[in-house]
Amino acid sequence: MSLINSSKEILLIAESCKIVAEVLNEIEGMIRPGVSTMELSLKADEVIRKNGGMAAFKGYTIPGLAPYPAAICASVNSCIVHGIPSKDEILLDGDIVGIDVGVRKNGYYGDGAKTFGVGTISKEAQALLDVTKEALARGIKQATEGARIGDVSYAIGEYITGEGYYVADNLTGHGIGKNLHQEPSIPNHGRKGTGLRLKNGIALAIEPMVNIGTNRVREKGWEFFVADKSLSAHFEHTIVVTKNGPQILTQ
Ligand code: MF3
Ligand code: CO
C-alpha cells in the first residue's frame, strides 16, 4: 500500500480532520467540573454525524479486547490514553482530561487530541500541558520532505526529557489515511537520521504522551495508565508533508 496521498486524497483526509477540530472545539466548551466523560462522548458522536462522518474509534478492534465502545477516548489525570468514557466518571475541579477524536468520512481518516484543564489546575499540571503541546509542535516542525521519522521522534523525545518529563513507553503516533493506523509508527523518542524518509503526500498522526513521574505504563484493557499514578498529557495532530513543509490538518 502506498503511503503517498494524491492531492484529492489529501482533501478527503483534511475534511475528516476538520471535523476532528470542530469536535475538539465543541468539547472544550463543555469542559467544567460536574460534566461526565460520557456526555462529552455523546456530543462528539452528534457533531461527527451532523458533519457526515463516522466516529472512527467506535467498534475499533484489537486482538484480545472487545470492540472499542465509544466515539472518543477521555483520559483523566494518570490515564495516558484510551480512557473509556463513562456516565459515572465526573470531571472535578483541578483534573486534566485528554480528549482523543477520530473521524472517518469518504473512506479517509482524521485523528487528533488535546488535553484540557478542568476548572483551576495546579501549576504542575499546567506545565505538563505546556510541555506536551510544545513537544508536538517541535515534532511537527521536523516533518518535512526528505527528513526521517527518527528526526521527528528525536525532536519530541529530546525536548520532553530535557524538560525533566518522561515519554510514555511503547505508545506511538502513526501514519494515517485510508486506515486510522498505518505505517509508519512514530515513536516519541528516537535517533536522528533513522527510519522512513518522508515524502510529500505522507499523512502522519503525531502524538506525544508525556508523564510527570515515570515512563512506565500499566495497561488495563483498553486503558493505559502511568505506573506511579502521576499525571499524563497527550496532544495529537494529523499533518501532511507538503513541498511547503508540514501542514496541520486538525486545527
Ligand atoms: N488516537 C488514538 C491512537 O492513535 C486512537 C485510539 S483508537 C481506539 O491510538 F479505538 F483505541 F480508541
Ligand atoms: Co492517533
- The closest residue, in CA terms, to atom 11 on ligand 1 is 82
Decide if 2 is inside a domain.
no
Decide if 144 is inside a domain.
yes
Task: Say how many Å lie between the CA of residue 101 and the centre of ligand 2.
Answer: 8
CATH number at residue 231: 3.90.230.10
48, 100, 186, 207, best to mutate for ligand 1 pocket (most atoms within 8 Å of CB): 100
What is the value of pTM for the model shown?
0.98
Task: Say how many Å lie between the CA of residue 57 and the centre of ligand 2.
Answer: 10
Mind listing the pLDDT tens digit for each residue in 149-190? Answer: 999 999 999 999 999 999 999 999 999 999 999 999 999 999
The whole-number pLDDT of residue 200 equals 98
Please state, in angstroms and as integers, the Cα–Cα distance from residue 16 to each residue in 9, 42, 105, 242, following that order: 11, 18, 6, 18
- Which domain, by its residues, includes 168? 7-248
Question: Quick one: the chain helix, strand, coil %, rounded to 5?
Answer: 30, 30, 40
Decide if 88 is inside a domain.
yes
Decide if 148 is inside a domain.
yes
Decide if 119 is inside a domain.
yes
Instruction: Give residues (CB < 6 A) around ligand 1.
Output: 57, 60, 68, 73, 82, 100, 102, 111, 174, 205, 222, 236
Decide if 1 is inside a domain.
no
Q: Say how many domains are in the chain.
A: 1
Decide if 202 is inside a domain.
yes
Task: Say how many Å lie between the CA of residue 236 and the centre of ligand 2.
Answer: 7
Q: Which ligand is nearest to the CA of 71?
A: 1
Which phi and psi (to 5°) does residue 110 adopt? Answer: -135, 150
Decide if 38 is inside a domain.
yes
Tens digits of pLDDT across the chain (251 residues) = 799 999 999 999 999 999 999 999 999 999 999 999 999 999 999 999 999 999 999 999 999 999 999 999 999 999 999 999 999 999 999 999 999 999 999 999 999 999 999 999 999 999 999 999 999 999 999 999 999 999 999 999 999 999 999 999 999 999 999 999 999 999 999 999 999 999 999 999 999 999 999 999 999 999 999 999 999 999 999 999 999 999 999 99
